[in-house]
Amino acid sequence: MKEKADFTGVEQTTLITLYLRAWESRSKDSILGDHFAAEAVKRIDYDFGKLMVRGGAGNRFTLALRSRQLDEWAADFLRRHPDAVVLHLGCGLDSRALRLDLPPRVRWFDIDLPDVIDLRRKIYPEPDGYRTIGASVTDPGWLDEIPADRPVLIIAEGLVMHLTENDNKRLFQQLTERFGTGELIFDGFAPWVIRMTQRMSKSLARRGYTPYWTAIRDPRDVERWNPRFTYIEDVPFVSLYARIPARVYRTAYRLMNTISVTRNFYRMFRFGF
Ligand SMILES: C[S@@+](CC[C@H](N)C(=O)[O-])C[C@H]1O[C@@H](n2cnc3c(N)ncnc32)[C@H](O)[C@@H]1O
């Protein structure tokens, strides 16, 4: 029997990313190869087709590039800290904990809003060392459940833009107060993209998308939000164009990579503390 997903608003955005990963996994020379997503889509009773925007087929490559970059940073952190705590904030229905080969001592926490976590528990296994938490990341209570005596990897994929800047600052403050050392990895859009989604909020809502709130203009702004953070690197997703198997998108992203405004409109960021 299929599981129902009666999501609206921001919760629904996880169905979009799940569907795009499932779609991308069927590409020849898939970038991410997320067969967990492909299996999960089959188990959910939802009209995924309605989420597709016209001309949005390339989004499956954008998604796969961003997820693979974050997977690689996560794997690198776990190689250096095999006893780490991982906080996967706004995990949605992403299978990262299953995709990565987790060292046995890692404690992994997948955190999302309660309805999303309820569905997640029905479709994915929960291996040893892995736990889900159904809560808003802006509610400080959930952090009390997390051991604070290990290095922490904080992953926030597709989340920072959905929170207000004040919520992001407060969340980062709580995290750096609780943990001694770690890394934060996430993706973020340029300010013009945020403004555009706000202007288009009605048409986005009809397709299950929500407008964004927080932009990352310059990674140094994140250091100013929270002086514990030290910028390590950022990667514009279009700079990874060579990984795209479809020539038309590879060429488009290669061209976008040559102009600053299109090169930097969407990037993955990595900070240490
Ligand atoms: C675009 S989806 C990304 C999901 C997943 N990270 C991925 O890449 O597939 C955004 C996710 O953030 C979650 N989210 C939004 N606001 C949240 C909050 N305040 N607390 C916890 N999760 C939140 C949504 O429920 C949704 O699952």
pLDDT in tens, the chain (273 residues): 899 998 988 999 999 999 999 999 999 999 999 999 999 999 999 998 887 766 678 899 999 999 999 999 999 999 999 999 999 999 999 999 999 999 999 999 999 999 999 999 999 999 999 999 999 999 979 999 999 999 999 999 999 999 999 999 999 999 999 999 999 999 999 999 999 999 988 887 777 778 899 999 999 999 999 999 999 999 999 999 999 999 999 999 999 999 999 999 999 999 999
Q: Which of 13, 36, 143 has most ligand 1 atoms within 8 Å of its beta carbon, as the pocket-test mutant?
A: 13
163 CA distance to ligand 1 centroid (A)?
10
Cα of 93 vs centre of ligand 1, distance in Å, is 9
pLDDT at 4: 94
pLDDT given at position 148? 96
Q: How far apart are CA 207 and CA 204, in angstroms?
A: 5
The DSSP bridge partners found for residue 270 are 185, 233
Beta strands (DSSP E) in 77-228 are 85-89, 107-112, 130-134, 152-156, 182-189
Ligand 1: centre distance to CA 255 (Å) = 30
Ligand 1 proximity of 24 Cβ (cutoff 6 Å): no
| Ligand 1 midpoint to CA 112 (Å) | 6
Query: Within 10 Å of residue 57's Cβ, how many Cβ atoms?
Result: 14
C-alpha–C-alpha distance, residues 261 and 183, integer Å: 27
Of 87, 83, 96, which Cα lies nearest the Cα of 142?
A: 87
Q: Which atom of ligand 1 is nearest to the CA of 67?
A: 8
- Assign 179 to helix, strand or coil: coil
- pLDDT at residue 55, rounded to an integer: 64
Report CA(11)–ligand 1 centroid distance (Å): 6
Give 152's strand partners: 85, 182
CB of 17 sitting under 6 A from ligand 1? yes
For domain 3-272, give its CATH number from 2.40.110.20, 3.40.190.10, 3.40.50.150, 3.40.470.10: 3.40.50.150
Quick one: tokens of 96? 């990262």
CB 75 within 8 A of CB 103: no
Closest among 101, 86, 95, 116 to 183, alpha carbons compared = 86
**What DSSP element (H or E) covers 66?**
helix 59-80
CB distance 116 to ligand 1 below 6 Å = yes
Alpha-carbon gap, residue 195 to 180, rounded angstroms = 35
Which ligand 1 atom minimizes the distance to the CA of 66?
8
| Amino acid at the residue 59 | N
Amino acid at 258: T
Work out the angle at residue 59's Cα, subtended by the Cα atoms of residues 189 and 248, and round it to the nearest 5 degrees.
Answer: 115
Q: Give the span between the Cα atoms of 162 and 254, in whole angstroms.
A: 28
**Whether residue 91 has its Cβ less than 6 Å from ligand 1:** yes
Measured distance CA(132)–CA(128) in Å, rounded: 12
CA distance 197 to 72: 29
Return the domain boundaries, the chain. Answer: 3-272
Report how far ligand 1's centroid is from the alpha carbon of 259 (Å). 30
CA of 249 to the centre of ligand 1 (A): 27
What count of other Cβ atoms lies within 10 Å of the Cβ of residue 34?
27
d(CA 121, CA 132): 8
Which residue owns the Cα nearest ligand 1 atom 3? 158
C-alpha 14 to ligand 1 mean position (Å) = 6
208 lines ligand 1 (CB under 6 A): no
Q: How much is the pLDDT for 210?
A: 84
